[in-house]
Amino acid sequence: MDQIESNPTIPVRALQEQLQKDYQVGFSIHKVFKVKSTAKKLVQGDYKKQYDVLRDYIMELQSTNPETTVKLEFDSEPNLSATSISSYDVEAYNWLKQIPPQHWARSHFTGRVVSDMLLNNLCEVFNSKLIEGRDKPLISCLEYIREYMMKRICNFIKVQKKCVGPLTPSATKIMEKNVNWASQYTVRWNGSDKYQVQGPWQDQHVVDMVERVCNCRKWELTGLPCKHVIAVLNDKADNGDEVGELHTYAHRVHWLETWKTAYVYKVEPIKGRAMWPISECPIKITPPIHKNQPGRPKKKMRHSAEEKSQKKGDNVASGSGSQSNIASRSGKLTRKFIQVTCSKCKIKGTTLELAKAKGVSDWISRDFDVCRGISVFLG
């Protein structure tokens, strides 16, 4: 201990020689290294334990030096959900770490959008509805879109007439679930505007009713009061406070009135081509030069690079030790390891396509015996 306290950087070999000279006993180099590490922890303090008292050290500095400015920076515990991606694809995990989480993680989003939707399904649905109009000429395609929008707006108006309540149907379902969950939470008031809400599974959050935020961030992100906020409202109502209607704590985008306002503007019908006004502009508009490619025009949606990689992904066996169906990364089953049977001779492992691939296309016949001969030949 004295040697380490006086000279913490003493080499292990020098310490070994000094201990052997003092005690006249042989010490292995590994044992001396272990003793030196233990002595350094006792003299200088444990490396990990000092992090536990780091905030205490800062408070001591600020108490003894009131004008001291201390800046403490640290990284929080890693996101277990994000690190689980590394077990699936390390390259994808490393690529994801380079992107700030506010661009892809809902927990880091701002409350500007007031939506819980993370997908672009709205664009995809609209894109799928235009498939029939893609191969039409310009005006015919635009007319197809206009008429579709007229029909879509009318369908939504019919649905809105059947809705009851202050909120939209989707928002009403979410609120009903939150109301049921709120009954399992207890609320403690701090005497001002904040409440501590505690529930099952160690779920504890702070709700600020003035700022209209909950630290679970669901109220801020979705615009709908979460179960913690509803628990606070129930507690305030039980204590005789005026809380008002529950839907007033939801953002206006979830109100049924707002939904109806979005469809107030209609797409007006137009007259036929024979009644259109004639333009007096002397400049004639001609279509761009286009060369028709051979074959049937493609109408399928162009898939992104990610969708293509999923379809070309390696097949992963769904069961070990058995020749079962294989599931690709896209989630679709492939035909690998499926045992085929000839539809004519009923012999397993024979198909007409297989016979052609083997170079025996001349043998193919409707005759039963010839088909059996192909099977024997391919065996």
Whether residue 279 is predicted with pLDDT greater than 70 in this model: the reply is yes
| Structure tokens given for 343 | 């539809």
User: pLDDT tens-digit profile of 157-202?
Assistant: 999 999 999 999 999 999 999 999 999 999 999 999 999 999 988 8
HSE-CB of 309 using CA atoms within 13 angstroms = 4
Confidence of residue 216 (pLDDT cuts 50, 70, 90): very high
Mean pLDDT of 197-224: 93
Confidence of residue 73 (pLDDT cuts 50, 70, 90): confident
pLDDT (0 to 100) of residue 163: 95
pLDDT (0 to 100) of residue 353: 64
Phi, psi for residue 174 in degrees, rounded to 5: -65, -40
* 203-208: strand order across its sheet: 186-189, 194-199, 203-208, 213-214
pLDDT (0 to 100) of residue 231: 96
110 touches 122 (CB < 8 A)? no
**Would the pTM count as exceeding 0.85?**
no
pLDDT (0 to 100) of residue 306: 66
Burial class (CB in 10 A: 0-12, 13-18, 19+), 48: exposed
User: pLDDT tens-digit profile of 320-335?
Assistant: 444 444 444 545 556 6
Higher pLDDT, 340 or 359: 340
Mean pLDDT of 221-225: 93
Query: Mean pLDDT for the chain?
Result: 78
Whether residue 36 is predicted with pLDDT greater than 60 in this model: the reply is yes
Whether residue 319 is predicted with pLDDT greater than 60 in this model: the reply is no
CA distance 16 to 358: 77
182 touches 230 (CB < 8 A)? yes
pLDDT > 90: what percent of the chain? 31
17 touches 53 (CB < 8 A)? no
Mean pLDDT of 244-258: 95
CA distance 170 to 254: 9
pLDDT (0 to 100) of residue 320: 42
| Structure tokens given for 61 | 């500095």
| Other C-beta atoms lying within 10 Å of the C-beta of residue 60 | 12
Whether residue 43 is predicted with pLDDT greater than 60 in this model: the reply is no
Q: Residues in the chain, how many? A: 379
CA distance 90 to 308: 19
HSE-CB of 9 using CA atoms within 13 angstroms = 0
User: pLDDT tens-digit profile of 352-377?
Assistant: 666 555 554 444 444 444 444 444 44
pLDDT (0 to 100) of residue 93: 83
Mean pLDDT of 340-361: 63
- DSSP letter, residue 106: G
User: pLDDT tens-digit profile of 257-269?
Assistant: 999 999 998 899 9
Confidence of residue 135 (pLDDT cuts 50, 70, 90): confident
Mean pLDDT of 330-351: 65
Confidence of residue 294 (pLDDT cuts 50, 70, 90): confident
Q: Report H helices in 137-267.
A: 138-162, 169-182, 218-222, 227-238, 256-262
pLDDT (0 to 100) of residue 352: 60
Mean pLDDT of 104-115: 78
Cross-strand partners of 33: none
